[in-house]
Amino acid sequence: MKAELKEISSYQRELLIEVPADIVQEEIDRASQTIKKTARLPGFRPGKTPLPIIKSRFSREIKDEVLNRLLPRYYEEALKQHRLSPISPPVMDDIAVKEGDPLLFKASFEVKPPIKVENYQGLKGTRSEVKVTPEEVQTALCRLQEKGAQLVSVEGRGVQSGDWVMLDVVEQFDPPTKGGSHREENALIEVGSPRTFEGFSQQLMGMNRGEEKSFTIDYPPELPQERLAGKKVRYKVKLKEIKFKELPPLDDEFARDLGDFKNLGDLREEMEKDLLSHKEEEAERALTDELLSQLIDTHTFEVPSYLVERELDRRVSRVANNFVMKGIDLKRVEFDWDKLRQEQRPDAIKSVKKWLIVEQIASQENIVVTSDEVQTEIERIATENNKSVAYIKGWLEKEGRMEEVKNQLLFRKTVDFLKKKAIIIKKGEK
């Protein structure tokens, strides 16, 4: 086998591979014999068709079988020969295979660019001092109160701001669009909410149960909902029900209903601890970003496009999952996914740069993740999700996420190393 390596850029590689003709012939003969055993052609008994006829009639199948066996095998051999570790799947092209000739093909792929990180000890950073105020605790309790609220039907009055209304809605664009009118039954809308267009809420104010109404709204061009922005829409609505949000009282019973709390005071203490922990985590993330941003600014290198696209895939997937968790049908939602990728690209590039720098520092400092640390992390994940350790470990292995766990641990250990070596002052100090 011959394998010529070409460096296209700091992270792009091409291998021009040649497989000897005798090996190619062996594979052609093997594939031909396999097909011959089961081939049924007019005038020949099964297994008795001459090989030249088999090769002529089944040339495509034979070629595919030969390539399926030889391409991955000799690609892997070429990688070993040149001591390469790709980070992307190969693109195979310029394939030439013919009986009696060598197999020629090109494999294109990406590798991590060579990076040497310098001056990463003694970085300067600021750690914010965190505290939780009584007002913040009260706000958090009110959010819990909102989650426990119930919608109660209203009788004997019209719609007021803050009410929830159930409507049958017919929506039609003016001028009409290709999809025509859209009808939705039992739509639940909060009147006066920032989520509801103000003009729509105003049209509903004062309506009574069973009442029908038609109106037109001219939406402004700057409206966040692109489907409606700058459009004139005619509505016909029928008000089926008026509800108001009834909040549970913030008392000891409320606290006991939420968990193992004796009274509201216990719940307040737990909320304060949670808020403090969350703020401390945010402060540490901000410090991490500050330190790593300094390294990004002082180290210039090309970022592999495969890693950037993979990071963008993760970010888009998170947005899609948020839609699903809110009960939104992804097939019906009007969302510009390409625009999202474009907007997220700079942050995705920065995220990949951070990881490549941290990984290189770990290599230079011989920072590694032990099997005991991985096991401890699996146990932590299991506890957080109220699952058995065996279940979490099996799930991580099945989903191919075990390497992700190791990478996250390596990132944390290396960042902890940078913080220990950094000059960190508390915010407000000189």
pLDDT tens digits, one per residue of 328-378: 777 777 788 899 999 999 999 999 999 999 999 999 999 999 999 999 999
Distance of alpha carbon 131 from the chain centroid: 32
Q: Distance between CA 67 and CA 28 in Å, rounded?
A: 10
Residue of 189, 186, 163 whose CA lies nearest to 242: 163
Give the separation between CA 306 and CA 109, rounded to whole angstroms: 9
Cβ pair 304, 355 in contact under 8 A: no
In the chain, where are the structural domains located? 2-110, 150-246, 262-426
Which of 79, 80, 102, 81 lies closest to 90, judged by CA?
Answer: 79
Strands 182-190 and 164-174: antiparallel
Measure Cα distances from 52 to 45, 65, 98, 339 in Å.
15, 17, 14, 55
What tens digit of pLDDT does each residue of 20-59 get? 999 999 999 999 988 888 888 888 877 788 888 888 888 8
Widest pairwise Cα distance in the chain: 95
- 262-426 folds as Trigger factor, domain 2 (1.10.3120)
Whole-model pTM: value is 0.76
pLDDT for the residue numbered 429: 52
Do the domains 150-246 and 262-426 sit in the same CATH topology, yes or no?
no
As a whole number, mean pLDDT of residues 122-149 equals 93
The C-alpha atoms of residue 60 and residue 359 are separated, in whole angstroms, by 45
Instruction: Return d(Cα 212, Cα 167) in angstroms, integer.
Output: 10
Q: Which option is the CATH number for 2-110: 3.10.20.440, 3.30.70.1050, 2.40.10.10, 3.40.50.2000? A: 3.30.70.1050
Averaged pLDDT score across all residues of the chain? 92
Tell me which residue of 175, 180, 222 sits closest to 197, measured CA to CA.
222
DSSP lists the bridge partners of residue 182 as 171
**What CATH number was assigned to the domain covering residues 150-246?**
3.10.50.40
177 has pLDDT over 80 = no
C-alpha–C-alpha distance, residues 393 and 386, integer Å: 13
Single-letter amino acid, residue 261: F
